């Protein structure tokens, strides 16, 4: 793989913090289809065929509850067929949950939307008949609709649902559907809708879908971009088109001839499905002040020997089209990494979570990431040191099906911290799940203070570094160079001691560096240095009553230059600028 990152990132810092890491649901279903996301006060996790609700400190609030109970009363809800998806619609402040029905009967898609941002409260629900079984459906939130892609060869596989009506709890939201004439020739395939995190895409932007195409299936190694331009007034005017075929660095999506021989495990011949022929849940869109960006990932063979790694991309809109800003393939050792989920936060930090397994490593959960400083360089490298969320304790021998998907999301409250959930092996047939929240390392947040900002040239000033983020290198500078470092300190000390040798205004600058990089704070004219002088002041007579007159006098001594006098009373009522006012 030409983009193969063969070494782990090295950035470690106390500013990277595991905020929460708690147990989710346990499943004996193959696959468990674990996914979840955070809202303002809760984390909601679904697996086949139940959901749990936690507060954001990991305390169990509700569940496990049968998933189909959310759809009670609509067609299809009598079964609990699975493939759950949950998203938090942060612009609306509501949750969206979907489940298909049709394994043992007519094909339906069921969607429920919470009435508030509290998932333990009331929900509205709907059901639509499908044209073909909506296998492996994936959803994305967009301004004008909830968009869905499915693995439905020969049937309709591209959908949009009328979000505004659903958010209002309306009885009959519309649906549009399309068959995809540009479906890659990979067999199993799902074209993923793009999910809008944070601020909406610009008004009028059509709903988007994306997928990969391997040249082994025909055409070239590419990312394909589609647009569904929906007209809810007259749905017959809606259109679906492939609008871009973006060339990418060569990749190999073949991890073996069948699902049964992709990912090895210790002590067993049973291998796990690597799902290498599709983009993984989710394709994430985020609008920044000056750019629009998308991140996505899929699993590849990095060396031709069925060694699974994760190819990831960041795309940026150039005003006309989407183009690759950076891309990389993360496979830093002999372990296999697959079933990734990726997201980008408001600080342009990227987090990537995934499963890990090999002949010597039980199926486990880890994550890496790209710091904002590295992202600014568009290096294609994950520079954050890999972190273990949970190490597996067993191999799965019950089947080859593993997970199918996971989810990395960004906390909608702070726009900064990440949440990730997926499974790991705890026995030959049972999977545990974890729910983790974390932040990535950042450059130091620099601050400092001085013991005296109005010293004389004979005073000693103690500076205190108040920076956070575990810096290990400091560099102080003063715009006026006439300073003497005292008590064995220097410009490289964390807390220098300084004597200012000239009467002047001093601008103070501190650069602090940690494992991410440097950060600088400048305080302009922070220290004002002058001479020492004394004032002897008096009044004659010293004690007076209202209506009396007294003579004030002041005798300054020391210092240099011409004295200026400012007399005033407290409370206000008298002021003067002469040497001896009456």
pLDDT tens digits for 497-540? 999 999 989 999 999 998 888 899 999 999 999 876 667 788 88
Beta bridge partners of 135: 151
Are 74 and 133 a contacting pair, CB within 8 Å? Answer: no
Beta strands 35-38 and 364-370 are unpaired
Q: What is the pLDDT of residue 11?
A: 87
- List the structure tokens of 564: 């200026």
Are 392 and 425 a contacting pair, CB within 8 Å? Answer: yes
Residue 494 backbone phi and psi in degrees, to 5: -70, -40
Could you read off the pLDDT of 73-106 as tens digits, one per residue?
A: 999 999 999 999 999 999 999 999 999 999 988 9
Are 262 and 358 a contacting pair, CB within 8 Å? Answer: no
CA 451 from centroid of its chain's CA atoms: 39
- List the structure tokens of 440: 């990535």
Total-model pTM? 0.85
**Helical residues (DSSP H) of 141-185, grouped into ranges:** 163-167
Are 549 and 581 a contacting pair, CB within 8 Å? Answer: no
Are 411 and 364 a contacting pair, CB within 8 Å? Answer: no
Could you read off the pLDDT of 170-217 as tens digits, one per residue?
A: 999 999 999 999 999 999 999 999 999 999 999 999 999 999 999 999
Three-class DSSP labels, 223-262: EEEEEEECCCCCHHHCEEEEEEEEECCCCCCCCCCCHHHC
- List the structure tokens of 441: 């390392």
Q: Is 189 helix (H, G, I), strand (E, B) or coil?
A: coil
Beta strands 575-576 and 567-568 are antiparallel
Residues whose CB is less than 8 angstroms from the CB of residue 287 and which lie 6 or more positions away in sequence, other chains included? 198, 199, 200, 201, 202, 293
Q: What is the pLDDT of residue 243?
A: 98
Are 509 and 520 a contacting pair, CB within 8 Å? Answer: yes
Ordered strands of the 431-439 beta sheet: 17-23, 431-439, 418-425, 407-410
DSSP 120-149: TS-EEEEEEE-SS--EEEEEEEETTEEEEE
Q: Can you list the residues of the chain whose pLDDT is less than 50?
A: none
Residue 114 to residue 125: CA distance in whole angstroms = 9
Rg (CA), the chain: 32
- List the structure tokens of 153: 């060869």
Beta strands 431-439 and 17-23 are antiparallel
Residue 523 to residue 214: CA distance in whole angstroms = 54
Q: What is the pLDDT of residue 30?
A: 92
């Amino acid at each position: 793989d030409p983009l193969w990152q063969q070494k782990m990132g090295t950035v470690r810092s106390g500013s990277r913090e595991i905020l929460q890491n708690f147990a989710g649901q346990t499943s004996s279903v193959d696959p468990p289809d674990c996914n979840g996301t955070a809202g303002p006060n809760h984390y909601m996790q679904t697996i086949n065929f139940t959901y749990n609700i936690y507060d954001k400190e990991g305390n169990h609030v509700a569940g496990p509850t049968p998933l189909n109970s959310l759809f009670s009363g609509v067609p299809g809800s009598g079964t609990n067929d699975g493939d759950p998806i949950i998203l938090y619609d942060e612009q609306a402040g509501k949750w969206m949950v979907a489940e298909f029905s049709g394994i043992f009967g007519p094909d339906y898609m069921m969607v429920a939307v919470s009435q508030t941002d509290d998932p333990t409260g009331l929900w509205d629900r709907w059901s639509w008949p499908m044209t073909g079984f909506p296998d492996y459906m994936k959803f994305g939130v967009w301004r004008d609709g909830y968009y869905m892609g499915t693995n439905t060869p020969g049937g309709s596989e591209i959908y949009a649902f009328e979000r505004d009506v659903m958010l209002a709890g309306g009885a009959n939201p519309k649906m549009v559907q399309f068959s995809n004439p540009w479906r890659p020739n990979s067999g199993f395939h799902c074209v993923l809708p793009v999910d809008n995190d944070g601020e909406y895409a610009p008004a009028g932007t059509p709903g988007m879908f994306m997928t990969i195409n391997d040249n082994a299936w025909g055409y070239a190694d590419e990312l394909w971009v589609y647009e569904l331009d929906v007209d809810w007034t007259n749905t017959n005017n809606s259109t679906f088109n492939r609008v871009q075929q973006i060339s990418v660095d060569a990749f190999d999506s073949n991890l073996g001839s069948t699902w049964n021989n992709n990912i090895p495990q210790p002590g067993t011949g049973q291998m796990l499905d690597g799902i290498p022929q599709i983009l993984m849940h989710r394709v994430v869109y985020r609008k920044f002040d000056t750019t629009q960006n998308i991140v996505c990932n899929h699993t590849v063979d990095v060396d031709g020997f069925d060694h699974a790694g994760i190819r990831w991309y960041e795309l940026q809109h150039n005003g006309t089209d989407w183009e690759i800003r950076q891309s990389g393939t993360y496979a830093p050792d002999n372990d296999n990494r697959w079933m990734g989920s990726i997201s980008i936060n408001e600080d342009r930090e990227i987090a990537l979570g995934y499963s890990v397994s090999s002949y010597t490593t039980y199926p486990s959960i880890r994550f890496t990431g790209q710091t904002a400083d590295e992202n600014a360089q568009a290096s294609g490298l994950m520079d954050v040191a890999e972190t273990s969320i949970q190490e597996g304790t067993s191999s799965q021998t019950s089947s080859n099906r593993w997970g199918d998907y996971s989810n990395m999301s960004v906390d909608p409250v702070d726009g900064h911290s990440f949440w990730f959930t997926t499974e790991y092996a705890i026995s030959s047939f049972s999977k545990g799940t974890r729910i983790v929240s974390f932040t990535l390392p950042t450059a130091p947040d620099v601050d400092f203070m001085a013991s005296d900002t109005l010293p004389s040239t004979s005073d000693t000033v103690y500076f205190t570094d108040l920076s956070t983020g575990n810096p290990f290198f400091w560099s102080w500078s003063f715009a006026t160079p006439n300073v003497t470092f005292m008590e064995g300190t220097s410009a490289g000390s964390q807390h220098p001691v300084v004597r200012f040798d000239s009467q002047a205004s001093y601008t103070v600058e501190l650069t602090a560096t940690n494992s991410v990089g440097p950060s600088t704070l400048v305080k302009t004219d922070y220290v004002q240095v002058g001479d020492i002088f004394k004032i002897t002041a008096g009044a004659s007579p010293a004690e007076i009553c209202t209506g009396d007159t007294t003579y004030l006098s002041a005798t300054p001594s020391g210092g240099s230059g011409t004295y200026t006098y400012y007399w005033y009373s407290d409370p206000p009522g008298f002021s003067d600028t002469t040497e001896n006012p009456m």
